[in-house]
């Protein structure tokens, strides 16, 4: 499986397919979303909400939870707010 992934990536880079994903690190819509890492949401969530690459910061973890004020999810939210200009937070459970 790893060999297939590497071969796909080689062609992806060779054909410069990454260019259509070019954006800055700052979310255009100034929103961060905390949600579950469920694989069904990878394409579904942005499509269902009308978001494109670069629009929002999506923070995923098991269950889409914030369990204490010092966990990695909270650190990611703080970086999004204080360094990346996010001014709205959405929590979307599954």
pLDDT tens, residue by residue, 12-63: 999 999 999 999 999 999 999 999 999 999 999 999 999 999 999 999 999 9
Strand partners, 16: none
Q: Are 26 and 85 in contact (CB under 8 A)?
A: yes
pLDDT at residue 3, as a whole number: 97
pLDDT of amino acid 93: 85
Sheet holding 56-61, edge to edge: 56-61, 31-36, 88-92
Contact between residue 86 and residue 32 where contact means Cβ atoms under 8 Å apart: yes
At the topology level, CATH places domain 23-92 in Beta-carbonic Anhydrase; Chain A (3.40.1050)
What are the backbone dihedrals phi and psi of residue 86, each rounded to the nearest 5 degrees, phi first?
-65, 135
CA–CA distance, 30 with 19 (Å, rounded to integer): 23
| Residue showing tokens 């204490």 | 68
User: Closest Cα to residue 32, out of 51, 54, 57, 50?
Assistant: 57
Any idea what DSSP says for residue 74?
Answer: H
pLDDT at residue 49 in the model: 96
């Amino acid at each position: 499986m790893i060999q297939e992934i590497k071969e796909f990536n080689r062609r992806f880079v060779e054909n410069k397919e990454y260019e259509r994903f070019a954006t800055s690190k700052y979310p255009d819509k100034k929103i961060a979303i905390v949600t579950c890492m469920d694989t069904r949401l990878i394409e579904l969530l942005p499509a269902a909400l009308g978001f494109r690459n670069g629009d929002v910061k999506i923070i995923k973890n098991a269950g889409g939870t914030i369990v204490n004020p010092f966990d990695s999810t909270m650190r990611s939210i703080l970086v999004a707010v204080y360094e990346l200009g996010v001014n709205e937070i959405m929590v979307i459970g599954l």
